[in-house]
Amino acid sequence: MRSIVAARYSPLTMRNDYRIDTDTIFERHPFAREILERLAAAGYEAVLIGGVVRDAVRSILDPSIPFSPHEVDIATSALPQEVRRLFRDRPIVGVGEEFGVLVIAAPDSQQYEIATFRTEGDYDGRWPGKVELVRDLAGDVKRRDLTINGLAATRDGTVIDLVGGIEDLKAGRIRAIGDPRVRFAEDYLRSYGQSGLLAESVE
């Protein structure tokens, strides 16, 4: 089994030639497109982030791996109150509004989690004691667990890779963002959540 090592963090947005299949995503999750478009039209940054981007890039690198976007997570520079103003016409649940997280119900009853970019600190082993909502994607990515989960994509599918997640997917590497001992001490359930990914990295 490969160990989890620290990733170097670059403060510069790295856009590259990788473009994920957003047609497949929006075919299954049509309201996700509208969320991204509304936020962008209002002047906010909004991206697909996390597992859906990771899995889409993986299927590009290895076409034998099917891409089936079951869930879509969206991160944005808009604050929760700004998201609420933009989506007055839809039911919204503040499942973790103090952490910048809202859930919007789409016309087809699908639910979409929208999270304001944030930084975190002062963990107790499970939850952060300090959360700061921020306007930049870089700060949000830096708080995440693994480089491959730190991939983001614009609504046209352009991949944003700030931490070398694509190269790690190519190499079958599992790398933490920052010091892995610190990252997994923050939330002890992270080690359980990544066990499947670790298993996939074994050759």
What does the pLDDT look like over 10-51, one tens digit per residue? Answer: 433 455 689 999 999 999 999 999 999 999 999 999 999 999
Nearest to 7 by CA among 130, 171, 131: 171
The per-residue pLDDT of the chain, averaged, comes to 83
Residue with token string 């087809």: 108
Long-range contacts of 119-123 (CB under 8 A, 24+ apart): 119/143, 120/186, 123/185, 123/186, 123/187
In this prediction the pTM is 0.81
Residue 160 near residue 14 (C-beta atoms within 8 A):
yes
Phi and psi dihedrals of 36, rounded to 5? -65, -40
**Of 70-74, 102-106, 199-203, the least confident:** 199-203
Ranked by mean pLDDT, which of 124-138, 139-153, 176-190 comes out on top? 139-153
Domains of the chain and any CATH numbers: 5-200 (3.30.460.10)
Which one is predicted more confidently, 97 or 120?
Answer: 97
* Half-sphere exposure of residue 33: CA atoms within 13 angstroms, side-chain side: 12
User: For position 122, what pLDDT does the model report?
Assistant: 57
What single-letter amino acid sits at 131?
Answer: V
Residue 2: is its pLDDT beyond 90?
A: no
Residue 191: is its pLDDT beyond 50?
A: no
